[in-house]
Amino acid sequence: MILDIYKDSIEFASKKISILLILGVLSFFNFLIVPLIFFYGYNYKIIKLSTQSMINVDAVPPEFSGLKEMFINGLRYIAVNLVYMIIPVIILVFAISSKSLLLLVVGLILALIGVAFSFLAIPHMAANNDSFKSAFALGELKEIMSFIGYGRYILSYLGIIFISLATLIIVTFIIGIIFNIFGVAALSVSTAGFGEVTRFTALVTNAILLFLVSPFLSIFQNRSQGLIYNLRG
């Protein structure tokens, strides 16, 4: 079932190049905050659609429309993640500044717990008429997590991370090979034995990662997030 979710999410993310480019542009200008809000507002739209979908259906990414609603939902998306992560982040900052191993361990454990709950919190909010309160219904979220199965739930999330990292590595490797095939020095070996990517190659690689790969992975992750939530039955 989890593999089917990954397959569905990869196919789903591949269906609209135009959306990838829009999200890529938003990512490029995310330092202006407003584009970042719309970026997450669209991600929320994907999650909401996915909580209403079945696996392996002919679903496509939604249109980039309804800007007012996307802006509000983007704020919701960001706020939920901030609430779940603010305490772990504060503890980790103190741990690093005070060089406390105990605080570091506590902060990391709380961060993992926060991520685990936020991963279900946003779909739960979307499935309950965008109720911000639903995102913090810890009893309900724990029950959903239990129904899915703690082991399967954790492995499904780790699978998303693995697929995302593997995709980034593979795409970067393929770009390097393409530059070599066309006679462009994609890699130069330094005296220390490490590869140095030329400026031109780095520019092209970063552009592809920013405008295509990262948006693709964002859609893949959020589609998976919504479908995993549906395993609650």
* 188 SS3 class: strand
Strands 195-197 and 187-189: antiparallel
Beta strands in 92-174 (DSSP E): none
Q: Are 201 and 186 in contact (CB under 8 A)?
A: yes
Residue 127, C-beta contacts closer than 8 angstroms, at least 6 positions apart: 48, 51, 52, 134, 229
Torsion angle of C-alpha atoms 184, 190, 191, 194, degrees rounded to 10? -130
Which residue range is the domain that position 48 belongs to? 2-232
pLDDT at 207: 86
Half-sphere exposure of 135 (CA within 13 A, CB side): 23
What's the sign of the alpha-carbon dihedral 47, 141, 158, 101? positive
pLDDT digit of tens for each residue in the chain (233 aa)?
788 999 999 999 999 899 999 999 998 998 889 999 999 999 999 999 999 877 767 788 999 989 999 999 999 999 999 999 999 999 999 999 988 899 999 999 999 999 989 999 999 999 999 999 999 999 999 999 999 988 889 899 899 999 999 999 998 888 878 877 765 544 444 444 444 446 767 787 888 888 899 999 999 999 999 999 988 86
Q: Are 185 and 198 in contact (CB under 8 A)?
A: yes
- Best CA proximity match to 228, nearest among 174, 155, 164: 155
pLDDT at 91: 94
Q: How many CB atoms lie within 10 A of CB 4?
A: 11
The total number of structural domains that make up the chain: 1
Percent helix, strand, coil in the chain (nearest 5)?
A: 80, 5, 20
pLDDT at 198: 63
Tokens of 62: 């939604």
pLDDT at 182: 66
Distances in whole angstroms, Cα of residue 111 to Cα of each of 131, 154, 225: 24, 14, 18
Determine the Cα–Cα distance for residues 89 and 97; give it in Å rounded to an integer.
12
| Whole-structure pTM value | 0.84
* Residue located via tokens 């361990």: 105
pLDDT at 52: 86
- Best CA proximity match to 140, nearest among 114, 164, 120: 120
Question: How many helices and strands (H and E) does the chain possess?
Answer: 9, 2
pLDDT at 46: 95
Q: Are 220 and 2 in contact (CB under 8 A)?
A: no
Residue type, 172: T
